[in-house]
Amino acid sequence: MIRITFLTNNSMLVSAPGNSNLLRVSLREKGGIPFKCGGGLCGTCKCRIEKGLEHTDTVKAKERKHLTEEQIKEGYRMACQTFVNGDVSVSW
């Protein structure tokens, strides 16, 4: 199991299986990441991986439509498109 810390939600800490979708974990555990579509179309679930960016999968084409290269380098991702394979801390 991996640990996800939702920093903006009072540093709420939850456990999830490896290769979990960040937005789905947030929804299931009431982590609080904002969202509308859940499919990479709206950009509402933009968040920042504060710790553990190396535990996320590669940036998807849908994310590149909403995030600049600078934001990606700073750790921003779209939660609906991001899968995690290790401990991460996220803010939004």
- Other CB atoms within 10 Å distance of the CB of residue 49: 21
Q: Which residues of the chain have pLDDT under 50?
A: none
Greatest alpha-carbon pair distance for the chain in Å reads 31
Give me the pLDDT at residue 11, please. 98
Strands, sheet with 2-6, edge to edge from the N-terminal-most edge strand: 12-16, 2-6, 88-91, 46-51, 76-78
Give me the pLDDT at residue 3, please. 98
Give me the pLDDT at residue 33, please. 98
Contact 77, 64 (CB under 8 A): no
pLDDT in tens, 16-29: 999 999 999 999 99
3-state SS, residue 81: helix
